[in-house]
């Protein structure tokens, strides 16, 4: 369909370029700082995860690392694609209507923003489900420890997020150029199909955060009860504690960074009051911080002193007569010892279950 000179393409009907670039919210420093910090952090995190993946022999941990790898790749690509577009705009101040008269480029960026925005939330919820099953139903989890299945789940999450991002192109919602003219995003509006897609976007994100909170809470309580309660299990929990700490930090950071945008979008639909451009831009920048902070969770959790501290969450009680571990968990002779420097394990356990650099074998949960 040809667009005449007098017609305004649909994606520019709300905010028609060019804009006034002197407004403080149009500062070019924000995208360049976010992009530089984010790409560097995710590259470091990717190297750390690859190194950890090569050394681990625990199938449970390797599956968790695949999920983390998918999260890092998603964050990296999201920052790279959107950062290049926004950075190019701030350098050249190109006219969107001249460069993209049919809104194809704007739609692409809008799809990118939605896709790379929902993926971390969906992956966080999927990881919470995986850890919930692994901790509360270990026998069920033992039948699904294949790495290929984990990769398939990550690909399914990406496909689902991509399907949602395609809805505005198919007529459910719409992408529009946003002030200060450097990016395109969904039209947050309480009217028509824009309202439908705004609800889908906000409710999907909030549902992921809620699911992550509930399942992570149950998993953490169960892990503490199993490790320290009367129905304790005869297996090590150091790596499970480490994975839960990382997962909880991922959930907390995602909640802080994404809730402003998701809640403001939902409130705009409920109250029928449009969200101001400055608030939308601030919320988007808050959401971008999630892609910067996420990788540092994996990096910091690999620091030897912190990993040692996590393992000491289960320690030997010196005043107890029996071999008492993890705040009172009694482990009979022949089971894994938590004594510092000990490498004792189950009788007959193969040495292939040991992970280099650790004092003792790791459970294959």
pLDDT given at position 140: 55
- Residues 22 and 101: their CA atoms lie apart, in Å, by 25
pLDDT given at position 228: 66
Cα of 100 vs its chain's centroid, Å: 32
Pairing verdict, β 324-325 and 175-178: unpaired
HSE toward the beta carbon, residue 53, CA cutoff 13 A:
17
More confident residue, 221 or 115: 115
pLDDT given at position 310: 54
Confidence tier at 5 by pLDDT (50, 70, 90): very low
Confidence tier at 17 by pLDDT (50, 70, 90): confident
pLDDT given at position 147: 73
| CA dist list (Å): 290 to 39, 40, 274, 316 | 12, 14, 25, 38
- Residues 178 and 110: their CA atoms lie apart, in Å, by 10
pLDDT given at position 54: 80
Decide: 187 and 14 in contact? Cβ < 8 Å.
yes
CATH label, 24-315, candidates 3.60.70.12, 1.20.1070.10, 1.10.150.110, 1.10.10.10? 1.20.1070.10
pLDDT given at position 311: 56
Condensed to tens digits (0 to 9), the pLDDT of residues 170-223 reads: 989 899 998 888 889 999 988 889 999 999 999 999 999 999 999 999 988 888
Among the ranges given (80-94, 129-143, 166-180), the one the predictor scored with the smallest mean pLDDT: 129-143
Condensed to tens digits (0 to 9), the pLDDT of residues 237-295 reads: 567 777 888 899 999 999 999 999 999 999 999 988 888 888 888 899 899 899 889 88
pLDDT given at position 281: 86
Beta bridge partners of 185: 176
| Listed residue (204, 210, 104, 107) closest to 164, CA to CA | 204
Condensed to tens digits (0 to 9), the pLDDT of residues 37-50 reads: 889 999 998 888 88
Decide: 79 and 34 in contact? Cβ < 8 Å.
yes
pLDDT given at position 174: 92
What's the mean pLDDT in 73-79? 93
- Residues 8 and 102: their CA atoms lie apart, in Å, by 10
pLDDT given at position 24: 55
pLDDT given at position 2: 42
Take residue 57 and report the two structure tokens written for it: 């022999």
Strand extents, DSSP E, the chain:
175-178, 183-186, 324-325, 329-330
What's the mean pLDDT in 16-25? 63
Single pTM value for the model: 0.78
| Listed residue (290, 268, 269, 266) closest to 277, CA to CA | 268
DSSP code, position 190: S
- Residues 209 and 121: their CA atoms lie apart, in Å, by 7
Condensed to tens digits (0 to 9), the pLDDT of residues 300-357 reads: 776 655 555 555 555 444 444 444 344 334 444 444 433 333 333 333 333 334 333 3
Cα-atom radius of gyration of the chain, to the nearest Å? 24
pLDDT given at position 308: 58
Every domain of the chain and the residues it spans: 24-315
More confident residue, 170 or 360: 170
Residue 234 has pLDDT above 50, yes or no: no
What's the mean pLDDT in 156-175? 93
Question: Locate tokens 């824009």: which residue?
Answer: 194
Residue 361 has pLDDT above 70, yes or no: no
pLDDT given at position 254: 93
């Amino acid at each position: 369909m040809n667009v005449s000179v007098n017609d305004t393409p649909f994606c520019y009907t709300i905010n028609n370029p060019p804009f006034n670039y002197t407004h403080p919210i149009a500062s070019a420093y924000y995208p360049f700082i976010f992009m530089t910090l984010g790409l560097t952090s995710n590259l470091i995190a990717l190297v750390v995860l690859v190194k950890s993946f090569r050394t681990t022999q625990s199938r449970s941990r390797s599956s968790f690392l695949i999920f983390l790898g998918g999260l890092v790749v998603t964050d990296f690509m999201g920052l790279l694609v959107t950062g290049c577009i926004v950075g190019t705009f701030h350098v050249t101040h190109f006219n969107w209507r001249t460069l993209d008269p049919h809104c194809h480029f704007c739609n692409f960026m809008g799809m990118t923003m939605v896709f790379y925005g929902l993926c971390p939330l969906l992956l966080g919820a999927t990881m919470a489900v995986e850890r919930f099953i692994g901790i509360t139903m270990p026998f069920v989890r033992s039948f699904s420890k294949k790495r290929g299945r984990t990769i398939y789940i990550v690909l399914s999450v990406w496909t689902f997020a991509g399907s949602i991002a395609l809805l505005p192109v198919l007529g459910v919602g719409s992408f529009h150029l946003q002030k200060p003219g450097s990016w395109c995003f969904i039209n947050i509006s309480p009217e028509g199909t824009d309202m439908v897609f705004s609800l889908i976007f906000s409710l999907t994100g909030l549902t992921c955060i809620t699911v992550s909170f509930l399942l992570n809470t149950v998993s953490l309580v169960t892990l503490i009860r199993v490790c320290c309660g009367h129905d304790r299990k005869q297996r090590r929990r150091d790596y499970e504690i480490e994975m839960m700490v990382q997962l909880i930090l991922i959930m907390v950071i995602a909640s802080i960074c994404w809730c402003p945008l998701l809640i403001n979008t939902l409130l705009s639909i409920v109250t029928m009051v449009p969200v101001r451009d400055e608030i939308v831009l601030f919320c988007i920048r808050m959401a971008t911080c999630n892609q910067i902070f996420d990788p540092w969770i994996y990096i910091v959790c690999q620091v030897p002193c912190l990993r040692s501290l996590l393992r000491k969450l289960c320690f030997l009680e010196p005043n107890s007569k029996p071999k008492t571990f993890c705040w009172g968990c009694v482990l009979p002779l022949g089971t894994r010892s938590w004594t510092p420097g000990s490498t004792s394990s189950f009788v007959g356990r193969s040495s292939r279950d040991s992970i280099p650099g650790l004092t003792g074998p790791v459970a294959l949960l």
